[in-house]
Chain A
């Protein structure tokens, strides 16, 4: 027997009441946890994948969409830009580096990205097997692609037009896998990389069937390591990821591109910031709602303790007559509040993680976004603090009453 067991026995003696209080507490904590988990993972993911990219240049349209499509590979591209116009831009002396991207196809939901080797370096990707692409129709796949589709170097596959699974396949020209990248929790994990000419070739093929004989020969791609590929005047790419030579670039380049060219420039830093402030309103609302539930839980625990102690003043007096000090009774009542809230918090913890995992399972892009309920983030320690804090707050007045119990008076009034 000790105070914890004693308090626990009292809690157990009114299971319905305890359950209600615990559920209220758990609900509030769970909502907060879902918010913490989702937003911290989202933020981490968004920040990680935009590093090294100062500006994205693509077709005119929504700047946020441009970023989401070309940096995070979750939205659809805004369209295409002329290769020559892009090439002209790279000659600007404020630009230190430019990585071209050609999107448009997928294989079983994994995006095929035409680019050069600098894209792999940008995300510090490294091969676990094989090598990077050199010739047309050679491809390198990310770790998740290899794992999910059980692919390895030497395998071939047909790309499908569009960016989602259901689209039609380009049956004629197969991609050949030449390398697999190791997992590094960047966008690379979920991409299929090839050179831009391969992406063109697949599409050309569809439009101009008559040229098919020479397109099938494996030829060395141009600019597969860096820079922009050779192409005719109609050639198009989807976007370019730019790196500035100096901070001056951030000041003049976006305005120059947006007003003087047919292209659009968008800053990942600015757009993700905007996205967060948009999401932020919803998150704040939900968070306030969760705190209100937690406060109600605290109040409910306070009321039940307060009422219960009215019936228990004989018990308390008896405990005093058995040798318990005032302080012991104080702790006994405090413990009761804290045990309920901590149990509620623990239940909320399980619920919150379960719910996050469930939500992540519902959303097809969650793997690409690195969303899961099965991780622990540092902010979650607040849950422990909040639980104990609410328990203390809810039980302090009843505990003071217990402390002040006039034993003689209570016992004389039997």
Chain B
């Protein structure tokens, strides 16, 4: 369960976000819609423990994210929150497998090659295990980042514009994939997007207006 209370965030020049109350039940999904510049990325970063809000609290289950120390929050994020960004950011100095092992290592989890293989297989990437990241196509790279986000069985998956650069078919495929993976792992999926094409795939929606 994710609970936001009296959240406010802004930059010196202007306010960006103001959310009095928001609750996403365990295992439920939320689509965060809004025009470019409406604060979707900002909200995801706040939910991911990457950016401290000026006011309000963010709780995941029993954990108040911003009452944790910096290092505790890093660890919590590594173990409980899966992040997917619009661009596939993988460590290009490492192989696909090592990218995933790194995610386990940095989160302080046991390094489990079996789990790595399992997740990659479920995303149709089993044969890419030892490939260098640069040898993968853009789409394959994005699926690896999805695998990485799911790897540690997070409670929350945060995806920022995962469909922005995809055509219609692939956009729907990726959303279906994220949803089914989230359900398999019993995680809440929160997607921020300005992509109206995926609107119908979610019951729960949050519309951010530019303040």
Residues of B within 8 A of A412 (CB): 41-42, 45
Contact A414 B86 (CB under 8 A): yes
Interface: B126 (CB within 8 A):
no
Q: Which of A363-414 contact B (CB under 8 A)?
A: 407-408, 411-412, 414
Which residues 48-81 in B have Cβ within 8 Å of A in the complex? 48, 50-51, 70-71, 74-75, 77-79
Tell me which residues across on chain A come within 8 A of B102, comparing CB atoms.
Answer: 1, 6, 319, 322
Query: How many residues in B have their beta carbons less than 8 Å from beta carbons of A?
Result: 34
Give which listed residue, B50, B71, B98, B148, contacts A407 with CB less than 8 A.
Answer: B50
Q: Does A314 contact B (CB under 8 A)?
A: yes
Q: How far is the CB of A68 from chain B (nearest CB, A)?
A: 58
Within the assembled complex, what's the spacing in Å between the Cα atoms of A317 and B50? 10
**A324 close to B93 (CB less than 8 A):** no
A residues in contact with B79, CB < 8 Å: 323
A323 engages B89 (CB within 8 Å): no
Closest to A328 in B: B106
State A314–B90 Cα separation when bound (angstroms). 9
Once the chains are docked, how many angstroms separate the CA of A320 from the CA of B73?
A: 10
The answer on a CB contact under 8 Å between B74 and A323 is: yes
Are the C-beta atoms of A12 and B77 separated by less than 8 Å?
no
Closest residue on chain B to residue A311 by CB atoms? B92
* Chain A hits for B101, CB < 8 A: 1
Q: Which residues of B contact A12 (CB under 8 A)?
A: 93
**Nearest CB of B to A328, in Å:** 7
Binary B-proximity of A299-321 (CB < 8 A = 1, otherwise 0)? 00000000000000011011111
- How far is it, in angstroms, between the C-alpha of A414 and the C-alpha of B165 when the chains are bound? 13
Q: Give the A-B pair count, Cβ closer than 8 A.
A: 78
Indicate whether A324 sits within 8 Å of B92 (C-beta atoms), given known contacts A1-B104, A414-B85: no
Query: Please, how many angstroms separate the alpha-carbon atoms of A324 and B108 in the complex?
Result: 9
Known contacts: A9-B98, A315-B91, A408-B50. The answer to whether A320 contacts B45 by CB under 8 A is no
A325 within 8 A of B: yes
In the assembled complex, A2 has its CB within 8 A of some CB on chain B: yes
- Contact indicator A2/B105 (Cβ below 8 Å): yes
A358 to B22, CA, bound (A): 76
User: Are A1 and B45 in contact (CB-based, < 8 A)?
Assistant: no
B87 an interface residue at 8 Å Cβ cutoff? yes
For the complex of A and B, 3 pairs with smallest distance between CB atoms: A323-B78, A323-B107, A408-B51
User: What would be 7 A-B contacts, judged by CB atoms less than 8 Å apart?
Assistant: A12-B93, A319-B106, A323-B108, A324-B106, A325-B70, A326-B71, A408-B51
* Given A323-B79, A326-B70, 13 further pairs, Cβ under 8 A: A1-B101, A317-B89, A318-B89, A319-B106, A320-B50, A321-B77, A323-B75, A323-B77, A324-B74, A325-B70, A325-B74, A408-B45, A414-B86
Q: Which B residues are within 8 Å of any A CB, using their own CB?
A: 41-42, 45, 48, 50-51, 70-71, 74-75, 77-79, 83, 85-87, 89-94, 98, 101-108, 111, 148
CB within 8 Å of B: which residues of A? 1-2, 5-6, 9-10, 12-13, 314-315, 317-328, 407-408, 411-412, 414
